[in-house]
Amino acid sequence: MLNADSRRAVGAGAVRVSVEGGGEVEDSGGDGHEGGGAERDGFAGLGRDGQLTGEGGEGLSGSRNGRRVVVPPRSHTGTVRSSGPNHLIGDGDSTLFRERHETLTEGDADETRAETLQFFSGGLKEMNDDFGSRRFGDALAQFDLSRDGLDHHFFSEAAIVGLMESPFDIPVSMLSQLCSCPSLLSARLSLSVRERFADFLLLAVHRKGDARTVQCEAAECLLATALSNKAGTLAEAGRYDDAMRRYEEALRLENKVFGDEHPSTATTLACMAGVFMEQGNYEDAMQRYEEALRVVRKVFGDEHPETAMTLHNMAGVFKSQGKYEEAMQRCEEALRVVRKVFGDEHPETATTLSCMAGVFAEQGKYEEAMQRYKEALRVKRKAFGDEHPETATTLHNVAGVFAEQGKYEEAMQRCEEALRVVRKVFGDEHPSTATTLHNMAGVFMEQGKYEEAMQRCEEALRVVRKVFGDEHPSTATTLHNMAGVFMEQGKYEEAMQRYEEALRVVRKVFGDEHPSTATTLNNMAGVFKSQGKYEEAMQRYEEALRVKRKVFGDEHPSTATTLHNMAGVFMEQGKYEEAMQRCEEALRVVRKVFGDEHPSTATTLHNMAGVFMEQGKYEEAMQRCEEALRVVRKVFGDEHPSTATTLNNMAGVFKSQGKYEEAMQRYEEALRVKRKVFGDEHPSTATTLHNMAGVFAEQGKYEEAMQRYKEALRVEKKAFGDEHP
């Protein structure tokens, strides 16, 4: 299945609305500036969906490559993932799995669980004589079937335990079948189990006998598969250089066995592109996708699902670069392919429509986005019915657009509909149920309904702990989201407690040098900053920066984000030279990564303008705002929220200079854009009305000021209700 893009419920600490493929829920982190009143209090910064932000928190995800790029499944192998260069487990390494096995089998195991364990452990003995037979393949196929009401990832981990504890040699034919068994490769399994299983398969391949066996085509294919699987979890663990080395080894073997024009070669190229994407190396990512596209077009032709998938991936790169026209062009090309191959009413067509909708939403073209999502929803309902996970996914997407528009009631309605679907399909204790609860919490957060938001987070936490246990990335993500709610309420001790819990989890799962560890440190620093504990905040930011530089290098967007956050602390301390130094360093990074015309470049210019504003250097501040305005107009056009935010900031500079006419002119222009994009009854529209009222008040025009305040109050009551802060 092709995957599409992700949208988020906007605001600080909001959760991202998961889309195509039911991906991991994430704490997106707000930009800390735009919306809710931040424009009234200070300089507004840009920041959308993981772009650079001045003060914002960061998102935490258990799976870091599901959002921006779609890596196609290996057609002949599956994707077991692993970690550790040159690490092959020996006999002494079975202790971990035995302990896990004991944990899995504690309590009252029902008949099916016992049957599964028997097959994958004791049952191996009687099958030792005919591992390569159809009987084993049929058993794996049966194991892959969905079983209503059963904890499927339990069976997968139990299966892996049984296999690795088996004393019997495993033939190449069985290894090949194992590598293509989806249940044994599920990303829902704990990372440690998948790591060891990948190492187990690598070791099994190396044990297959003499040089003649190792040199045979089948063994080389299997080794390439094992190397790719190993690379996958190296990437998941944030060890990108090690992952790339494994992919390069796999590619070399595949080129030797298959030649350079084969589906497996294209798949490995796509996986390599995904690693480059994680590193912020978009040029190399695009190069690999272009190579992959050349291969799939040669092998399959222009009108094939694999061609469409590669076009989707290329669109993801362009979108990350802020090249929305190029992204849309690839989406449209993919849409032509899937309509030609599958027709108008096929799930792949719906997925491509969702991909296009994601690009439109990123551009602030919410009507166009909603149109595509509704079309996708109609197709999904036609194909799957109302009660299907794919239908629920599209409902989430629709909810995300409503949330962006400030239509929270409509957003909540779609979330509730999605919740009914996933509970009907999966039950109360399933990751998709937890994802939906997270998204509902995000909408409640935007409305200032913190108790309801916390209630949904707590419910989600119970689910993920039941499904995954205490030490899993999804558990850490939920703890992050709970911390975000506490932060919004000013309950900093409770927020810090949740972040500390999350830090223990990610360090246990990923280690000290992983992006998720850096993200958690970043968010802890944000709590300290809010408490005025600047030394503690800076200490956490420096630790996060060290990790990011180790994992990503100096020239990565995430590194720039931490530099921005450090600048924010220096700003609070009145250390403007140090703040500007960090902003300039961040600007060098984003220009290197994205170029001059990208939203992240505009964000950095905004933050620099904020430093100049604090110093009373209004000319320099205005210069940076004008640069930022040129960028956002080039990238997004005149009618986009980021354009309105920039106009707002320019108005703030004029207001500080006492140039009230110029200030009012910019506020009116910003108001026109916001009404065009969001409508009259959106919190951001109310924010601009507040700002205009402030200018009138400073001029002594109290009637005009009161008129704007009343209009803003009416909008806020409509959006949030009477009991919102």
* Neighbouring C-beta atoms of residue 141, cutoff 10 Å: 13
| DSSP letter string, 157-177 | HHHHHHHHH--S---HHHHHH
Give the separation between CA 188 and CA 184, rounded to whole angstroms. 10
Predicted pLDDT at 234: 85
Hey, which residues does 191 pair with through a beta bridge? none
723 vs 164, higher pLDDT: 723
252's CB contacts (< 8 A; 6+ apart) are none
pLDDT tens-digit profile of 30-79?
332 232 333 443 444 443 222 233 334 555 433 322 222 222 223 332 33
- Specify the pLDDT at position 671: 96
Instruction: Give the model confidence (pLDDT) of 592-636 as tens digits.
Output: 988 999 999 999 999 999 999 999 999 999 999 999 999 999 988
The token duo for 149 is: 């009401």
Q: How confident is the model at residue 322 (pLDDT cuts 50, 70, 90)?
A: confident
DSSP-derived secondary structure for 90-102: -GGGHHHHHHHHH
- Residues β-bridged to residue 7: 17
Question: pLDDT value at position 536?
Answer: 98
The model's pLDDT over 569-588, given as tens digits with 9 standing for 90+, comes to 999 999 999 999 999 999 99
Q: What is the token pair recorded at 281?
A: 């190396």
User: Could you tell me the pLDDT band of residue 224, with boundaries at 50, 70 and 90?
Assistant: confident
Confidence (pLDDT) at 718: 82
* 8 beta partners: 16
Per-residue pLDDT, 230 = 83
Average pLDDT value over all residues in the chain? 77
Q: Is the dihedral of CA 359, 365, 367, 368 positive or negative?
A: negative
Using alpha carbons, select from 306, 422, 330 the residue that is nearest to residue 72: 306
Identify residue 355 by its one-letter amino acid code: C
**Does an H or E element contain 17, and which?**
strand 16-17
Residue 113 has pLDDT above 60, yes or no: no
pLDDT, position 338: 96
- Of 622, 621, 618, 667, the closest CA to residue 645 belongs to 667
* The pLDDT of residue 423: 97
The model's pLDDT over 693-704, given as tens digits with 9 standing for 90+, comes to 999 999 999 999
- 572 CB contacts (<8 Å, ≥6 apart)? 529, 532, 534
Q: Is the pLDDT of residue 164 over 70?
A: no
Which carries the bigger pLDDT value, residue 555 or residue 149? Answer: 555
The better pLDDT of the pair 148, 35 is held by 148
Hey, what domains does the chain have and what are their CATH numbers? 91-300 (1.25.40.10), 638-725 (1.25.40.10)
Q: Could you give the 3-state DSSP secondary structure of residue 7?
A: strand
Spatial separation of the C-alpha atoms in residues 417 and 421, rounded to whole Å? 6
pLDDT, tens digit, for every residue of 241-293?
Answer: 999 999 999 999 899 888 899 999 999 999 999 999 988 899 999 999 999 99
What amino acid is encoded at 677 in this protein? V
pLDDT band at 500 (very low <50, low <70, confident <90, very high): very high
pLDDT of residue 37: 33
The pLDDT, as a whole number, for residue 189 is 53
What number is the average pLDDT over the span 666-686?
Answer: 92
Q: Which residue's entry shows tokens 């187990």?
A: 200
